[in-house]
Amino acid sequence: MYNSKITGLGFYVPDTVVTNDDLAKLMDTNDAWIQERTGIKERHWIPEGSEDTSAIMGVKAAKIAIERSGLSKDDIDFIVFATLSPDYYFPGCGVMVQNLLELPTVGAIDIRNQCSGFIYALSTADQFIKTGMYKNILVIGAEYHSNGLDKTTRGRGVSVIFGDGAGACILSRSEDTTKGILSSHLHSEGKYADKLIVKSPSIAHWVPEIIASNGEDISYFPYMDGTFVFKNAVVRFSEVILEGLHANKLEASDIDMFIPHQANLRISQFVQKKFGLTDSQVYNNIMKYGNTTAASIIIALTEAWEKGKIKDNDLVVLAAFGSGFTWGSIIIRW
Ligand code: ACO
């Protein structure tokens, strides 16, 4: 069996920065509430008229990752794309990337696991590499949230959290069995699907019904039971990190860099404290980007790596929890 390692990283966020004060002009909220509850100071939103979409941002991030990997785009033999905000209901963003990057007719799949999307995507790519089926897989997490949010006071509990952006990595076959992805652990609990959900449009509840409601049906906006999600997140984050550490006979003290999904700074800080990690062992950037869902871990991983915070042989732990519920962890020897 082969091993797989990350050979290239890249991310892209739109230029437009939306501060908490900017949001306070749209809805009844304020900088103090948002910072205190979430840690977020600002986020990047795609401006009106921009060409950016989840697929296009994913391509921009992918181009950086491919260049840094030293590979040519023709070396990529599979695409895994994670998003909850695809360009189209169908087909998925993976095939958009195949076309936009002008790749040969390689396979492409979309992963629909929301905040855990990148963990699921990287784990999926890892299995294809380890079995020997593919050599170099392009893994993308991208979200275009801003066009789908309720930017009024009614939607403030959700809309202040989310940001737009994309990250990408190349996962490559490696003969070195001591380094690369050591393990991934994935979970789901669908009985809580309605705690964090965008219900419409769905086949069961199609566009004409929404139009017929004359604005009363708002099931196309994300709904979140924030407190319930928060309570589950802190428990599941901790469980799945421990599961990964135990599977590799490692301790929390072995962690060099923990990169949590950027859902809420308070969740990250809770987990940091629970595992006794110092500030230098955890990377957070939710302050600048908000929750970019499937993109958040790969954006944070790329930024931490660009800043020289991840070194050869470091033990890197990635973990996420989100809508589904779904959650997971990946342990990497860099
Ligand atoms: N500005 C000002 N006041 C607000 C805002 C806002 N933006 N949003 C809500 N409030 C008010 C509420 O109306 C409420 O007022 P009330 O007490 O008068 O009713 C009060 O603030 C408290 O609201 P809560 O929702 O209880 O606030 P909470 O402390 O739970 O924070 C938050 C909300 C930040 C959403 C938090 O619950 C959270 O982070 N949850 C977890 C999010 C998460 O992990 N999501 C998973 C990933 S996302 C994915 O998978 C797509």
Output the CA 65–ligand 1 centroid distance in Å.
35
Residue with tokens 């990190």: 241
Q: Which of 297, 239, 264 is nearest to 118 (CA)?
A: 297
Q: Within 13 Å of residue 145, how many CA atoms lie on the same side as its CB?
A: 30
Q: Are residues 16 and 85 in the same domain?
A: yes
What span, in angstroms and rounded, lies between the C-alpha atoms of 151 and 154? 8
Nearest 5°: the CA angle 259, 296, 198 is: 130
Contact residues of ligand 1, CB 6 A cut-off: 29, 33-34, 37-38, 114-115, 156-157, 160-161, 196, 226-227, 229-230, 233, 263-264, 267, 291, 293, 322-323
pLDDT digits (tens, 9 = 90+) for 305-330: 999 999 999 999 999 999 999 999 99
Residues 215 and 138 in one domain: no
Residues 20 and 136 in one domain: yes
Q: What is the pTM of this model?
A: 0.97
| Contact (CB, 8 A) for 298 and 141 | yes
**Residue 199 shares a structural domain with residue 293:** yes
Sites in the chain below the pLDDT cut of 70: none
- Name the domain boundary from 135, 153, 177: 177
Catalytic annotation, residues: 115, 261, 291
Q: How far is the CA of 157 from the centre of ligand 1 (A)?
A: 5
CATH code of the domain containing 37: 3.40.47.10
Specify whether 82 is located in the same domain as 224: no
Residue-level pLDDT at 298:
98
**Do 172 and 233 reside in the same domain of the chain?**
no
Pocket mutation for ligand 1, best pick of 36, 84, 227 (most atoms within 8 Å of C-beta): 227
Structural domain boundaries enclosing 263 = 181-333
In this structure, are 165 and 208 located in the same domain?
no
Look at ligand 1, atom 41, and give the residue with the nearest C-alpha: 230
Q: Do 50 and 198 belong together in one domain? A: no
Q: Report the nearest-CA residue for atom 15 of ligand 1.
A: 157
The pLDDT of residue 1 = 82
- The domain total for the chain is 2
Task: Name which of 79, 84, 86 is nearest 117 in CA terms.
Answer: 84
| Å from CA of 189 to ligand 1 middle | 22
Same domain flag for 64 and 168: yes
Of 263, 325, 293, nearest to 146 by C-alpha is 293
Looking at the fold, whether 166 and 191 belong to one and the same domain comes out as: no
My answer on whether 32 and 166 are in the same domain is yes
